[in-house]
Amino acid sequence: MEAIILAGGLGTRLRSAVPSLPKPMAPIKGKPFLGYLFDYWLHQGIKHFILSVGYKCEVIRERFGTKYKDADVSYAIENEPLGTGGGLLLAIKQLRSKEPFLLLNGDTFFAVNLNNLFKYHKNCRADMTLSLVEIKNNKRYSGVLLDKQGLVCSIDSPTDSSKTSIANGGVYMIENDLFRKHLKRSLNKCSLEEELLPQLLIQKKRIAGFASNDSFVDIGIPHDYNLAANVLSQHV
């Protein structure tokens, strides 16, 4: 299976802790955070990583090159910031197979079991499956509401997500042809959660929610970045 990692963010909130590196390259016990993502998902069965990169992408390319252990590494380079949605659409063009692919946020680690996620995705006959994490007093993440079938019926913005503790954990299983129509258009900056996902819901696409109580950590702010080592050491 292939995985796209969204690794093009500027990491503005993390600058006080890691001032000169792209966010996924933030060191944790001497190892880039991205290396932990590679190791975990390589063990889960990923054979090809596609990195959607922009800010200081040369730092990532110099560190990882085109091969990481047994996995190939490719780069979809943004000449200008495209946001999470635009970065995803750019990276999709480098997929090699027609099978479903994994999408990962480059600044979060969520220890989802890939085999279980894939089986759930197929059983739901979903176009996309979101891995869901419970966040108490959720103020930072998009809240997700499910219907009785376990399908996503609404996704709230982080500022309006206090109504639910169920949040998008940043690990997605996506059918290869889901964004086919988008790829025929010129690429523009857009958000995955605030623009593409709501569009899919309007189009009545089947978006499933896969609840998981596995370990989750977000290195996007200094406080959580400082906690990451303990979580990652349990899995990688």
pLDDT digits (tens, 9 = 90+) for 44-86: 999 999 999 988 899 999 999 999 999 999 999 998 889 999 9
- For residue 67, the model assigns a pLDDT of 97
Residues 234, 215 contacting (CB under 8 angstroms): yes
- For residue 10, the model assigns a pLDDT of 62
- For residue 55, the model assigns a pLDDT of 80
- For residue 180, the model assigns a pLDDT of 84
- For residue 19, the model assigns a pLDDT of 61
Q: How do residues 198-226 score in pLDDT, each as one tens digit?
A: 999 999 999 999 999 999 999 887 888 88
- For residue 161, the model assigns a pLDDT of 46
Please give the model's pTM, rounded to 2 decimal places. 0.93
Residue 101 domain boundaries = 2-232
Q: How do residues 118-139 score in pLDDT, each as one tens digit?
A: 999 999 999 999 999 988 766 6
Q: Of all residues in the chain, what percent carry a pLDDT higher than 70?
A: 90
Kindly report the average pLDDT of the chain as a whole number: 89
Gyration radius of the chain over CA positions: 17
CA torsion sign for 90, 68, 120, 149 is negative
- Count of structural domains within the chain: 1
Higher pLDDT, 166 or 156: 166
CATH code assigned at 96: 3.90.550.10
pLDDT for 11 beyond 60: no
Q: For the range 152-159, what are the long-range contacts, defined as Cβ-Cβ under 8 Å and sequence gap of 24 or more?
A: 152/201, 152/207, 152/208, 152/209, 153/201, 154/201, 155/193, 155/197, 155/198, 155/201, 157/193, 157/194
144: left (phi over 0), alpha (psi -120 to 50) or beta: beta
CA torsion sign for 116, 162, 200, 41 is negative
Average pLDDT over residues 150-170: 78
